[in-house]
A and B are shown apart, each in its own frame.
Chain A
Amino acid sequence: MTNTKLRSLDDLKQKIEQESSRKAEEKRSVLIVSAGTCGQARGSLKVIDSLEKEIQKRNLEDRIAVKITGCHGFCEAEPNIIIQPNNLFYQNVQPKDAEAIIEETILNGQVIDRLLYREPGTEETTLAGPDIGFYKKQMRIVLGDNEHIEPIKIDDYFAVGGYSAIAKVLQEMSPEEVIEEIKKSGLRGRGGAGFPTGNKWAFSRKAKGDKKYIICNADEGDPGAYMDRSLMEGNPHRVLEGMIIGAYAIGADEGYIYIRDEYPVALKHITTAIQNAEKLGLLGDDILGSGFNFKVHISRGAGAFVCGEETAMIESIEGGVGVPRQRPPFPSVKGLWKKPTNINNVETWGNVPIIINKGADWYAKIGTANSKGTKIFSLVGKINNTGLVEVPMGITLREVIYDVGGGIPENKAFKAVQTGGPSGGCLPAEKLDLPIDYASLIEAGSIMGSGGMIVMDENTCMVDVAKYFLNFLRDESCGKCMSCREGTQRLWEIVDKITTGKGKMADMQLLEELSIAVKDASMCGLGQTAANPVLSTLRYFKDEYITHIKDKKCPAGVCKELITYSVIDENCTGCLTCKKVCPSGAVSGELKEIHSIDREKCIKCGACLEACNFDAIKVE
């Protein structure tokens, strides 16, 4: 029945059943290789190639299958392989390991110890993926299917019950009932602002107009965040299914996916998914004989952060410069080509089929009073288990960073965690027990945002972090509002002055005053939240600002103008390594003699620090 158009709900149900039993009857060992963008960057395609060659060489095609999936979330362990039926988890697999995996593990049933995951600190090994500390506290209701699906195969999505939510909606729910169900679930926008999704849908449903649009915001622009990329790469049909349900509820017959230009793999997978769904009649006219029509187009972003803002995105799809529009009217009333338009983020759409399948009551039991369900975070920066984590709302920052994330590498001290991207803030150690929900994060001076979670240690300078975000924002400000265009520039100039030792104590107050002006006088979210990184670092790390201003020192050793490099005599073995890598000839000393650094010649490039094997370079 592959590729025949599904003409009715019964056809769809039969298809789902057929593919589910095909999966259940799989008798072969399956090697599931994670091959999202990160996996590919770490060589997963070469691993797949060598596994396939090994299987062919031994004529084992009928006993072993290789499955190429999207991201499993555990980026630190890429390329990783899950071996079914036992869920054995091998990490950092290299092409040369293929022979051993086939010979020892598949044919002889032996575990290869060197490929097992070791918990940071204890070095204990774990056999099965779900038992690893990284996965234990996660609740992967949105990302979990990534392991079971070859993203370019629609049949794999059917095999995990995919598109059954469409069947349910078209068979037994009116558009209003769908909206009620989403409202009851408590789902809030996962793109940043956290607006209740059901209410947003209701506005668009009620808006007058014979033509309505929905948009999937896949312009994931926050630096340090890649949740949406991973979902689109690994399970594009989940996003499409959510969109089809949303279009049905709102009464839209056309949708756009506005996808970031920097995501080629996601673009490829979502394009294939649309084509396959069209072939099977899940998109197009008269879907499953229900009379409901819905088409999806792709609109590629062209690299502008502000286009993540709803009205700027609409301008961009219409073909112009992506600058925000004054609201009201809101897009739900007057959006794309002046028609009512509903915009939701990728992860929000991805949650919709689950709510329909499992019910709003089930969903609303997960999380806190005002934040329901799970949230996907990209846990990155100075953290042992870097990766994408999906956790129930209400979990504490400490649990995410230490239990899931395995803590800070090299036993360094935790300094801050940054959430919410350039609109968010940095939270210090005393906030580690904060439960993650929309309200608590705002109260602490940050926001949930789209899900970036960047961990910082003692070697991260908080003034430099504030400068980093301001530099990003002054570059990405579209320039329409003077307060944002000039304000972000001026904020950056002041912080830059502080990092170069030219700051004054009065600058801190000026920063606060200017921040309020930028916030109050800017039209869109970019300007309104632009000052958050400054305000939150001033709130929690004022001492660091003062040290930069008064003592002209950067305690973290980051701000170039305020630091010097020197050799720690006791640790130096005179091995010449730093002398060899120094590009400016600043290191002197002979073999087996203690070296020294000429401060006049030193350009503070950091090469000696990186190269030294004996901790003999000091930055202060």
Chain B
Amino acid sequence: MAWKEMSELTTLAPNVMSVAGTMIRLDGVTKTYSPGGLEIRALSDVQLEIRRGDYVSIAGPSGCGKSTLLSILGLLDTPSAGRYEFEGIDVRELSVADRALVRNLRIGFIFQSFNLIGGMSVFDNVALPLSYRRVPARVLRERVQLALERVGMTHRMNHFPSQLSGGQQQRVAVGRAIVGDPAVLLADEPTGNLDSNNGEMVMDLLGELHRGGVTICMVTHDPRYARDAERTIYLFDGRVVEDEPNTPGFEAGGPDTPRDHTPHWTREFV
């Protein structure tokens, strides 16, 4: 049934094939919130294009709009103004159910706090996205096992999140993100709650997925990991202030290596 729904989605976006190279396009995207009547502009006139296979890191100081941008990219939230095309589809045309379907079929999420469901086993947590697709039980089992093998957590599949270390939990979260073969992986500070060893391991996993063709957008504060990406987008006060490829030469740099191409006005925040 999921594939039938997918075809319906394609019907919604007849130009999906015509922009085969572009995964994500934001044109003048603005996002405002009005808690208690006070308007807060989280994103302002964001222009952005991410192509298939890109590995993009999003950086900026706290409150600059990184997470808001990630929410919009992941169809978790909607822009207040501007146009957002995901695989050629104007997301404004999508209903709540269509957006849920796109998230389920095309997007994988990795979160800073892992967001595993405590009452579910490792296997069930990873199986969760597939449970919304009506995948036959046998196929589901195979795909979950495959995903767990890729993150090295097969031996813990019957454990519960509370029985795992932080690094293991994040590996499970990565397994859950990739089990549905997403076209794009959105990672929100994936190493934020991990020690350096586990952080390296997760980043290695992301790198491996990228090499497998997955588009990755990653929010990170950590310049060491930001440099793993091919390109870094800098946000400040809700605006994209810089969007430039990472210099390969710095990839070998140590944790304390300063990024001398970091804009002067953001240096104090990074």
A and B associate in one complex: no
